[in-house]
Amino acid sequence: MIALTLAEIAAATGGRLVGGDPGAVVSGDAQTDSREIAPGQIFFARRGEETDGHLFAGQAAERGAALLVVERELDLELDAPVPQVVVADATIALGELAREVVRRVNAAGGLTIVGITGSNGKTTTKNLVAAMAERLGPTVASAKSFNNEVGGPLTMLRVDAGTRTLVAEMGASAEGEIARLVAMAPPRIGVVLSVGMAHAGEFGGIETTERTKAEMVRDLSADAVAVLNRDDPRVARMAELTAARVRWFGQHPEAEVRASGIEASAEGTRFTLHAAGESLPVRFPVLGEHHVANALAAAAVGLELGLAPAEIVASLEATTLAGPGRMQLLGGRDGITIVNDAYNASPDSMQAALKTLAQIRKPEGRTIAVLGEMSELGDFAGEEHDRIGLLAVRLRLSQLVVVGRGARRMHISAVNEGAWSDGESVFFESQDEAYDYLLATLEPGDTVLVKSSNAAGLQGLGDRLGEAYA
């Protein structure tokens, strides 16, 4: 974070300084988890659904916090007093401080802000863009999937005077949330990847999802760039809502950054990149044809940042993994491949992963889909789980293994389809049962996909299988 005085921090957050010299300078990053505090950092005592950060303010101070941002003045028993800024709402204060820090760095010149949203692919695309931006200078990018009202500001507060590019993943579970993040860090390049059924239960339907994702480009200035997916009709409509210049990506003939000749295999994906008047072959080591769209979005951003097509290809080919638990190749013993894609799941990403499994089938082996619940679908959960169960049958996968009561309708739908014989779809209540079954039944040459929403916890099952067949 840039250096600010305690008085400046209090003013930016609308708070009241208690203790400390108003002119004292703080430049450490912000944290909301007292266990992550390092000396010189700022601790924001948020009240969450399960706990209250104020209970851990003393621990943060003992770990070396230079400032506590709290919602009530605390009387802490400490060897040395720590200044406090008392605010009405610590989460709002976190966002307001991020807004001020980004404003100051932006005003000094030299900072390019890239905002990325979409129902699927945000984290993968953010990682790809960050790798490209690093070629040009110091880059700050969201850690993990830090993309909400807390994670977004925490990322923004890491920028300093030397930062050249801020790559901010911007997610939402309700209308207005992306707009608030955009207001904190106004992008010069705003990316919308897709509009799908992820979080449909929270949004109340795909139409609301579309409006919410459009917040990324709706308020962009005329000198900004909206990077939009030409293959997604809902994203394509957003071109009518923005004053920014539009750069299209996708497989559509009108896309300025386009892919052709896509070939998916267990080693990754090959395609030809068409951009800036050049056509270049790409050996993209990330598994899954659906990740090509993320690569194209990143390439479009790379062009806007000033990279040449050859540099973009070099960056894409240097990628080793979309992210832990994202189409992660594990195993290998006896020719058994485990694809751990259980970091998260939506109907769209589940469908894409199943299609990838069918595409990378070994001639001598079987394809086995180990699937868990897709969360946050609300009233759409039943029909969407049914649809995935039917898709597994229609793709002619060898076997479906469904884990957890919340995903049971996948199993029922697959069985009711009637095209499979007994045992081609099986259901287990627990991961341990599924793990024991798979250890007993996997055969040399099998390819196994493990996928679920993060809340279902199947990433651990994928890791266990990967270790068993390492």
Q: For 131-183, how does the pLDDT look when each residue is reduced to its tens digit (9 = 90+)? A: 999 999 999 998 876 778 899 999 999 999 999 999 999 988 788 999 999 99
Residue 461 carries which side chain, given as an amino acid letter? L
| Same domain? 267 vs 357 | no
Question: What number is the average pLDDT over the span 303-317?
Answer: 98
Domain CATH code at residue 410: 3.90.190.20
Mean pLDDT calculated for residue range 443-448: 95
pTM: 0.88
Q: Let me know if residue 322 belongs to a domain.
A: no
How many domains, in total, are found in the chain? 3
What is the average pLDDT across 446-452? 96
Least confident of 3-7, 36-40, 283-287, 432-436: 283-287
Query: In this structure, are 42 and 16 located in the same domain?
Result: yes
pLDDT in tens, 341-356: 998 888 988 999 999 9
Q: Is residue 139 part of a domain?
A: yes
Domain-terminating residue out of 54, 89, 124: 89
Is residue 386 domain-shared with residue 269, that is, in the same domain? no
- CATH code of 63's domain: 3.40.1390.10
Q: What is the CA radius of gyration of the chain?
A: 24
Are residues 70 and 162 both part of a single domain?
A: no
Task: Specify if 265 maps to a domain.
Answer: yes
Q: Is 95 domain-assigned?
A: no
Distances (CA, A) of 218 to 185, 211, 261, 341: 14, 10, 33, 32
Among residues 317, 349, 366, the one where a domain terminates is: 317
Q: Who has greater pLDDT, 100 or 320? A: 100
Question: Are 267 and 401 in the same domain?
Answer: no
Decide which of 39, 57, 89 is a domain's last residue.
89
What local confidence, expressed as pLDDT, does residue 340 receive? 94
Report the C-alpha dihedral over residues 452, 458, 459, 464, rounded to 10 degrees. Answer: -150
Four-CA torsion 259, 260, 266, 267, nearest 10 degrees: -70
Q: Assess whether 357 and 460 both reside in one domain.
A: yes
Q: Is residue 357 part of a domain?
A: yes
Report, as an integer, the average pLDDT of 368-379.
91
Residue 283 lies in a domain: yes
Same domain, residue pair 141 and 77: no
Q: Is residue 215 part of a domain?
A: yes
Phi and psi torsions of 432, nearest 5°: -60, -40
For residue range 88-112, list pLDDT tens digits in order: 999 999 999 999 999 999 999 889 9
Could you list the residue range(s) of the whole structural domain that residue 401 is in?
328-468
The confidence score (pLDDT) of residue 204 equals 61
Q: Render pLDDT for 355-367 as a digit per residue (tens, 0 to 9).
A: 999 998 888 899 9
pLDDT band for 78, please (50, 70, 90 cuts).
confident
Statement to judge: residues 159 and 196 lie in one domain: yes
Please count the other Cβ atoms lying within 10 Å of the Cβ belonging to residue 443.
Answer: 13
Specify the 3-state DSSP secondary structure of 28: coil
